[in-house]
Amino acid sequence: MGPGERVVEDWSSLRTTERARMTEACTRCGACFAACPMTAHAPATAGADAAATVAGVLGILAGGAGDAAARAWVMACGRTGSCNAACPHGVNPMLLMRLAKFEGQENGTLPKRGAADAMSRVKAFARLTLTEEEQRSWL
């Protein structure tokens, strides 16, 4: 295990604690949504209000349905980390998205992904990091 990593012994407790912390710390400023490169791969987020979309994700995290843009954004997350760099309040929006996805998939608000969906997301993420030549060779 590397420096800074830790073993999570009580995942359920961590989710509860982090849900409360994030809900309290997030100002719904929308900076994480504005910085996210994956929205280009989620048509339902086009033109969406950043603050309202973040509020929707928090709604999903709380067990609600969110709105269409929030659901699409959660499903498009490729864990680029751009949101974490953009957040001025140390919320860790990447983890927020992850926990919202767990919640939504567990309660049926969000679909569970198949292998074909996962591959299209891998390709979208790869396009952010590979050169043009590498994309031609590998994608």
Binding site for ligand SF4 (CB under 6 A): 26-32, 54, 86-87, 89, 91, 93, 96
Nearer to ligand SF4, 86 or 124 (CB): 86
Query: Minimal distance in Å, beta carbon 135 to ligand SF4?
Result: 30
C-alpha–C-alpha distance, residues 139 and 136, integer Å? 6
| Cβ nearer to ligand SF4, comparing 80 with 123 | 80
Closest Cα to residue 80, out of 22, 50, 122, 111?
122
Taking the complex as a whole, how short is the minimal distance between the CB of residue 116 and ligand SF4, in angstroms? 30
Residue 60: which of 122, 9, 110 has the closest Cα? 110
Q: How far is the CB of 102 from ligand SF4 (least distance, A)?
A: 17
Toward ligand SF4, which CB reaches closer, 88 or 114? 88
Sort residue 128 into left (φ over 0), alpha (ψ -120 to 50) or beta. alpha
